[in-house]
C-alpha cells in the first residue's frame, strides 16, 4: 500500500449492494455503492460494478462517481459524474477515466453534468477521482470479494 503523504484522508461508507448476471458470459455481476467522506463533509458517492470470477483483464470494473457536496443545501447542480475503469492488461492493473455520459449514473438525477474522458484527463477533478478510487478500493471490503 502506498502512503501518499496524507493525501487520502477519505473515509468510505459502504451502503447497499445488488447482483445480476453478465449478458456475455453468464457470470454473476456485482454492484455495490456508498459514500465517501472527509472529516468535514461528504464529497462523493460511488457505484462499483464488476463481474465475479471473471478477472479485470476480461471484465474491467466500473467505478461511477458522483463528485461534489451532498446533504442539506447541496443540489445536483453542484455535482459532476466521473467514471473510471479498473482494468488489467499485459502491463498489469491500471485505472483510467472513461466517458461518464455513457454510464447509467450520468443519466440519474444525482448530478447535472457528466464529464467525458477528454475534459477530465489531467485536471484536478481527475486527481480527486483517482484519490476516491484508492479509498474505495482499499476500504470497501466487498469489492472483488
Q: Which residues bind Zn ion (CB under 5 A)?
A: 22, 24-25
Closest CA to 14 of 58, 45, 52: 45
The set of residues, in sequence order, having a beta carbon less than 8 Å from that of 18 and lying 6+ positions away, is 30, 31, 32
SS3 call for 75: coil
Query: What's the min distance (Å) between Cβ of 26 and Zn ion?
Result: 7
Nearer to Zn ion (CB atom), residue 8 or residue 27: 27
**Based on CB atoms, which residue is closest to Zn ion, 58 or 117?**
58
Comparison of 49 and 105: residue with beta carbon closer to Zn ion: 49
Nearer to Zn ion, 4 or 23 (CB): 23
CB 116 → Zn ion: shortest distance, Å? 25
**Is 112 within 8 Å of 89 (Cβ atoms)?**
no
State in angstroms the smallest separation of the CB of 85 from Zn ion. Answer: 15
Q: How far is the CB of 49 from Zn ion (least distance, A)?
A: 12
| Total Cβ atoms within 10 A of residue 122 | 10
Give 106's Cβ-side CA count (13 Å radius). Answer: 17
Residue pair 66/79 in contact by the 8 Å Cβ criterion: yes
Amino acid at each position: 500500500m502506498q502512503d501518499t503523504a496524507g493525501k487520502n484522508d477519505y473515509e468510505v461508507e459502504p451502503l447497499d449492494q445488488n447482483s445480476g448476471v453478465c449478458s456475455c458470459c453468464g457470470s454473476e455481476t456485482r454492484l455495490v455503492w456508498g459514500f465517501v467522506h472527509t472529516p468535514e463533509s461528504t464529497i462523493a458517492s460511488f457505484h462499483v460494478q464488476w463481474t465475479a470470477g471473471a478477472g479485470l483483464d476480461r471484465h474491467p470494473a466500473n467505478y461511477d462517481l458522483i463528485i461534489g457536496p451532498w446533504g442539506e443545501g447541496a443540489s445536483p447542480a453542484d455535482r459532476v459524474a466521473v467514471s473510471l475503469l479498473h482494468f488489467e492488461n499485459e502491463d498489469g492493473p491500471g485505472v483510467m477515466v472513461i466517458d461518464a455520459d455513457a454510464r447509467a449514473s450520468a443519466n440519474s438525477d444525482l448530478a447535472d453534468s457528466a464529464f467525458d474522458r477528454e475534459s477530465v484527463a489531467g485536471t484536478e477533478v481527475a486527481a480527486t477521482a483517482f484519490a476516491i478510487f484508492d479509498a474505495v478500493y482499499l476500504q470497501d471490503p466487498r469489492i472483488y470479494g
